[in-house]
Amino acid sequence: MKGEKKERWMELCEQAANEQDSEKLIELAREIDRLLEEKKQRLRNKPTGQN
């Protein structure tokens, strides 16, 4: 992702991939889910034809 802004959910996925603590992993998964749900809502509400 050179030169691109990395989205927060991607950073959390990287953390989750290496997390050893099950409670922390659950917290990360919940946060990832929340962020992706927000992104999905933003994309649904985006007017057609805009980038």
pLDDT digit string, tens, across residues 13-46: 999 999 999 999 999 999 999 999 999 998 999 8
In whole angstroms, what is the distance from residue 19 CA to residue 33 CA? 16
Amino acid at 47: P
Would you place residue 47 in the very low, low, confident or very high pLDDT band (cuts 50, 70, 90)?
confident
Q: Is the pLDDT of residue 3 over 60?
A: no
Would you place residue 9 in the very low, low, confident or very high pLDDT band (cuts 50, 70, 90)?
very high
* Residue 8: predicted pLDDT: 93
Q: Is the pLDDT of residue 51 over 70?
A: no
Backbone angles phi, psi at 48, to 5 degrees: -65, 140
